[in-house]
């Protein structure tokens, strides 16, 4: 399974989780079967490129996203691309995956969507 974490740089397992999944400079993708780590740049329209993060990550084969939080619109976009999203991730990529394995991350829903991110969605 390919799991993605929005990140602040290129340090793989030890990179810090980014606070706003759409505006992070990188996404760290972990293959949970092989432990292969791949870091890709955020080339979405949020960063001057094209497309939205869920679309880009779906093309990379990502099945699960771990992030600190996100808005309702983003949750819907991830659902359209068949990517499960879990919120509450913090620390490093390694920390986020450990939290997920221990059941400490919550599936993202309309009820726990981040209001701060909802504000940004309407401005974008």
Mean pLDDT of 9-13: 97
**3 has a pLDDT exceeding 70:** yes
Q: Do 40 and 7 contact (CB within 8 A), yes or no?
A: no
Query: Tell me: the pLDDT tens digits for 98-122?
Result: 999 999 999 988 665 555 444 344 3
Give pLDDT tens digits for 27-83. 999 999 999 999 999 999 888 888 899 999 999 999 999 999 888 888 889 999 999
Q: What is the mean pLDDT of the chain?
A: 88
pTM for this predicted structure: 0.87
Mean pLDDT for the stretch of residues 6-29: 95
Contacts of 31 (CB under 8 A, 6+ apart): 1, 2, 38
Domains of the chain: 2-123 (3.30.420.130)
pLDDT of res. 112: 52
Determine the Cα angle at 2 with ends 57 and 122, to 5°.
Answer: 30
Instruction: Assign residue 61 a region (left: φ > 0; alpha: ψ between -120 and 50; beta: otherwise).
Output: left
Each residue's pLDDT tens digit, 84-103: 999 999 999 999 999 999 99
């Amino acid at each position: 399974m390919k799991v993605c974490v929005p990140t602040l740089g290129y340090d793989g397992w030890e990179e810090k989780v980014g606070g706003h999944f759409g505006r992070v400079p990188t996404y760290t993708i972990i293959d949970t079967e092989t432990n292969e780590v791949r870091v890709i740049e955020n080339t979405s329209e949020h960063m001057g490129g094209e497309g939205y993060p869920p679309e880009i990550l779906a093309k990379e084969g990502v099945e699960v996203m771990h992030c600190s939080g996100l808005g309702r619109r983003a949750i819907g976009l991830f659902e359209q691309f068949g990517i499960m999203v879990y919120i509450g991730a913090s620390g490093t990529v390694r920390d986020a995956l450990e939290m997920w394995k221990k059941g400490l991350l919550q599936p993202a829903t309309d009820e726990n969507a981040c209001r701060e991110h909802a504000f940004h969605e309407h401005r974008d």
